[in-house]
Amino acid sequence: MDSEPQFHPFPRLPSELRIKIWKYTFPEPRVVPVRYNRAVQQYTSTSEPPALLHVCAESRSLFLDTYTNLILAPRYKSAIFVDFTCDTIFFDHIDCSPEGDLSLDLARSPHSNRILYCAIDAQLWEVLRVFKYDSLSEVKLMPNLKTIALVMSRDYDRGMQQRRTDEDGHTFIEVDSTSVGSEIRHVGWYVESLRWELKHGLDSPLNNPPHVQMWLV
């Protein structure tokens, strides 16, 4: 099998041209899942870091001019690199914090004021509200936030199906047709409540409240 083609003269190109080529390979704006991995005791992502981080010293240097190693709770390491100007930080899992307190992580983070785009899993959001009823407890710690999204999985009818067997022994799946809309309405209520709090909450320090969205992924 032929090896992948290589452009051997690349290192001999003028540095200005090499830089343009490297930057052309930078990824498009991404949604970067963020969670705390207890097995390795650091923040990790299911999204692989861009390859430029590992190609060579020159590509890594250029990459790190644009991308930052995301730090939340400073005492824990992070394997996540983001471009704050365009990437969305997505807290996509219940286990998003070493101490189970996302707002505490954001309060300690040296990067909270750099987060412009954030998304939070809807189930995680509901769990966070149990412990911190104030729906602005996380949002107000990201003072420059432009967009906040609550994210609902497309398998939102999970748990709403029942396996049944009829009199002839045929097995089938019965779906409660009203449950899907109910799940969406439930998350929609959180979205509307957050919009109201951002508009009327007297304790919000945000000068320009972020745009609140609901995503299905």
187 with 149: CB under 8 angstroms?
Answer: no
Which long-range contacts (C-beta less than 8 Å, at least 24 apart) are formed by 204-207?
Answer: 204/136, 204/140, 205/140, 205/143, 206/139, 206/140, 206/143, 206/145
At 77, is the secondary structure helix, strand, or coil?
Answer: strand
Give the integer Cα–Cα distance in Å for 159 and 161: 6
Q: What pLDDT is attached to residue 174?
A: 47
Q: What pLDDT is attached to residue 66?
A: 81
- Token code pair at residue 209: 């409240």
Beta strand pairing call for 31-37 and 88-91: parallel
Provide the 10 A C-beta neighbour count for residue 34: 25
Q: What share of the chain is helix, strand, coil (3-state, %, to 5)?
A: 35, 20, 45
118-140 pLDDT, tens digit each = 999 999 999 999 888 888 999 99
pTM of the predicted structure, to 2 decimals: 0.78
19-28, 73-82, 149-158, 190-199: range with lowest mean pLDDT: 19-28
- DSSP 8-state secondary structure symbol assigned to residue 154: T
Give the integer Cα–Cα distance in Å for 96 and 46: 12
Token pair 């750099």: residue: 114
12-16, 29-33, 43-47, 97-101: range with lowest mean pLDDT: 12-16
- DSSP 8-state secondary structure symbol assigned to residue 136: T
Q: What pLDDT is attached to residue 146?
A: 94
Cβ-proximal residues to 166 (8 Å cutoff; 6+ apart), any chain: 172
What average pLDDT does the chain have? 80
Which of 107, 108, 60 minimizes the C-alpha distance to 81? 60
88 with 30: CB under 8 angstroms?
Answer: yes
